[in-house]
Structure 1
Amino acid sequence: MVADIMHGLGAYLWSLFSGPIDLVVLVGLLGQALFTARFLVQWIASERAGRSVIPLSFWFFSLGGSAVLLAYALYRRDPVFILGQSLGTVIYLRNLALIFREKRRAREKP
């Protein structure tokens, strides 16, 4: 029984990754790569600082990855994926707005 499940899983994964890769799949992979890069950026920045930090580039990678993945989800008409990426995109935009507002206020202070 376990062997049948493993065989079925292997066949399923093979069918997912062995088919032709079209432009839409490449866009989805690009979005996922951007989204993954944000964790690498955050990890490297934290290691360098010796504490947990979130660099500005983390939010740009988050926004870019989320926006591309949202476009991919909309094209694929996947409601679960659309809902998940929609909220993230709003949160990343808001964080960037707060960061830039804080920087602007710091420049304006005498």
Structure 2
Amino acid sequence: MLQANEIQQRFTQIQQSIQAAEQACRSGDAPDEIRNVIEKLSQQSQQAQSVVQGSDQQQMVQAIDSLESIGDEAKRVSRSLPTMPAELETAVTRVHAELSDLKHQLH
């Protein structure tokens, strides 16, 4: 199991990747479906921040699991869209990979 400070560091990296995905949504012709999922991911990430900054590892795991589920949704949506800006697809893939990797290390 990762230590709390390691989880917090990884979470900070994930938040930066989510911000990059948000930026890619704003700078390109992102379809509404993916915009909505990225917005949901961002909101959930902000809510999870206080949990991750805490010391309850069980709550941290639950918060990461929830984010990873939204990351899965983002990846599914991005793959199902006929047109997807390359920068945004890269950002979604990165967010999903980081969340998935952290989730697997926590379980």
Structure with greater Cα Rg? 1
